[in-house]
Structure 1
Amino acid sequence: MSKINVNKLHTLTGHNDCIYALTEGAEPQYFYTGAGDGMVVAWNLEDPKNGKLIAKLPHSVYALAVDHERNLLLIGHNFEGIHVIDLVHNQELWSIRMTDQSIFDIKITSGIAYVATGDGLITMIDLDQKAIKKRLKLSDKSARVMAVNPILNQLAIGFSDHTVKILNLTNDEPIANLEGHTNSVFALAYAPDQSKLISGGRDAHLKIWNAKDFLLQDEVIAHMYAINFLAFRNDGKYFATCSMDKSIKVWSSEDHKLLKVIDKARHAGHGTSINKIIWSKYDQSIISVSDDRNISIWQLEF
């Protein structure tokens, strides 16, 4: 493994339950967390110790998404629906009841919020009309994670039926069904240049797909247990994965080689499953959230 120095900058506390949701703000020094306690908290990397509560909901929060164009935060409120927060004034603008299922992911593109739920549905919400536009039933198993390819105008969706399905967003028609995982797909991301799609999940394997022809390019046995999430650095040179095995791993995007392991033994890392990570566009730190109720901020020197 190549020489990468890791420095743990901060451990942030405040949530009273497992932290499941994490997303970067429209201004990248801000990020937002959501947890099993129903709390959604805003954090500022310039003053990370002082989180600000912006929503408290009766049920757990698994999914958050920022609408950069409108400066809104969408909160996936499990067993209920979507709450929309104005990030200028940190107040709720509107909400929509839409499901009695878990909301596992939200992605926003071209004024439409795509919501993935535990019943295999993708629900499309028109953010200007504040209304449901369409529902697509794509599987009998949970829709767990999504990734948008804006160049090809496609949406990739990872399911608990072990597949990744690709939607053409021009007409919302499925155009590919990627098979190969042997269990639920939890992690999914396009490279910043949109050339490849990487998936991971409960089988602890990473699969690297060509984004244009959907052919499998490579496969890596990446973790001991389920891969919960993956994120690219914004220059595309590296990506990171996090796992139920309590580790974060840093990989080369070019050849998919392991470069660094960040864990409890070596770096005072998380003590339980790491659920989400982002690679900050603001300062290139990695932010991670865990079942241990903590948020960690890591500085990497390559």
Structure 2
Amino acid sequence: MHIQKIDTFGGHRDCVYTLEGGTNPNEFFSAGGDGLVVRWRLDRPDQGELVANMPASVYALARHAGSGLLWVGQNYEGLHLIDTAQKQEVRSLKLTSAAIFDIKFYKNDAFVALGDGVVVVIDTEQMAVRKHLKASGQSARCIAINPVERDLAVGYSDNSIRIFDLASYELKHVIPAHANSVFTLAYSPHFRFLLSAGRDAHLKIWDVEQQYALHQDVVAHLFAINHLAFNPDGTLFATASMDKSVKIWDAETFRLLKVVDRARHAGHGTSINKLLWTTYQQQLLSASDDRTVSVWQVSLP
């Protein structure tokens, strides 16, 4: 496997916490501690474009496929829906005084993970709160959706993963998953496994068909794992860590294939917070506390 750093996008004035794909494969958005929501184009790396300016940190971005609107989770305030073409806010919803850590969509539902342990279910057509899922007193940090089994997986700062029914919102399973906060969740492309990682630096694979029994436990990084993401064809996934490295893994065997770090690849010098694996030439993006977004070309022999 060959990894090459293609570019670095700079311009944020604080840590970059989140990334989201755009309407076009060569477009993506970034946001972070400075409240700036910026549109970038992978074919024109020098032309970052401000689309919104939030008065507080942004940890969560999500593009709603149906409307094309970019949902921005502003800390301690609520949701802001941005028409990125017009660079205008078209709707807002004051949800909470807690941090917003993740936003995911399924059919007409939006699921929003909050720092007070609540997952808010929002009707995306009516923009009305449908349900509050309160299963923990500690932060809901990350969400993953399995439409095959109709499962909603939520990772919490109480070290657990909870599985809810996507239709009834009933709690189905509680998994005592990690030794510390769960920061990231993702279902494998065929929805056979749920992958989780977090502050304890372990990558864990759970067998969905076996009632989420532990399939594998990998000591994957030196420090907290902040995010994991699959490539577009589902053959690889990457993990990003506070240890300043990105690691590339085989999605079938869960074997480590490559370590991307500062010493070997001119990688980030501080914590890496978010990954986005694009369909644009299979380029992998990484966002960091160093205020930049790096672009990586991942090539298999």
TM range (shorter): over 0.9
Which deviations, in whole Å up to 9, do the C-alpha atoms of 1:182-234 show, x marking residues without a partner? 00000110111111110000000011011232111111000000000000112
- Which residues of 2 match residues 1-302 of structure 1 at below 5 A? 4-212=1-209, 213-302=211-300
Which moves more between the two structures, 74-83 or 206-215?
206-215
Distance in structure 2 (CA, Å) of the matches to 1:133 and 1:89: 29
Which moves more between the two structures, 57-66 or 277-286?
277-286
Distance in structure 2 (CA, Å) of the matches to 1:19 and 1:121: 24
Q: Among all aligned residue pairs of Structure 1 and Structure 2, give the percentage whose two residues are the same amino acid.
A: 49
For 1:122, what is the secondary structure of its paired residue? strand
For 1:299, what is the secondary structure of its paired residue? strand
Which deviations, in whole Å up to 9, do the C-alpha atoms of 1:108-134 show, x marking residues without a partner? 111211110110000111121122121
Distance in structure 1 (CA, Å) of the matches to 2:273 and 2:62: 16
**Contact 1:8–1:297 under 8 Å retained in 2:** yes
**Contact 1:192–1:234 under 8 Å retained in 2:** no
Distance in structure 1 (CA, Å) of the matches to 2:142 and 2:294: 22
Which deviations, in whole Å up to 9, do the C-alpha atoms of 1:147-188 show, x marking residues without a partner? 111222221110000011111111001111112310000011
**Contact 2:73–2:79 under 8 Å retained in 1:** yes
**Contact 1:189–1:230 under 8 Å retained in 2:** yes
Which moves more between the two structures, 202-211 or 144-153?
144-153
TM-score, normalising length from structure 2? Answer: 0.97
TM-score, normalising length from structure 1? Answer: 0.97
Query: Residue type of the partner of 1:64?
Result: L
Gaps of 5+ in 1: none
Query: Residue type of the partner of 2:9?
Result: L
Query: Residue type of the partner of 1:39?
Result: L
Distance in structure 1 (CA, Å) of the matches to 2:154 and 2:213: 16
**Contact 2:51–2:84 under 8 Å retained in 1:** no
Runs of at least 4 residues off by over 6 Å = none
Size of the aligned set, in residue pairs, is 299
Distance in structure 2 (CA, Å) of the matches to 1:144 and 1:180: 14
Give RMSD over aligned pairs: 1.0
Distance in structure 1 (CA, Å) of the matches to 2:109 and 2:48: 29
For 1:265, what is the secondary structure of its paired residue? helix
**Contact 1:113–1:125 under 8 Å retained in 2:** yes
The Cα shift of 1:89 comes to 2.6
Distance in structure 2 (CA, Å) of the matches to 1:14 and 1:87: 18
Query: Residue type of the partner of 1:216?
Result: L
Query: Residue type of the partner of 1:295?
Result: V
The Cα shift of 1:138 comes to 1.3
Which deviations, in whole Å up to 9, do the C-alpha atoms of 1:78-115 show, x marking residues without a partner? 00000001234332110011111111101111121111
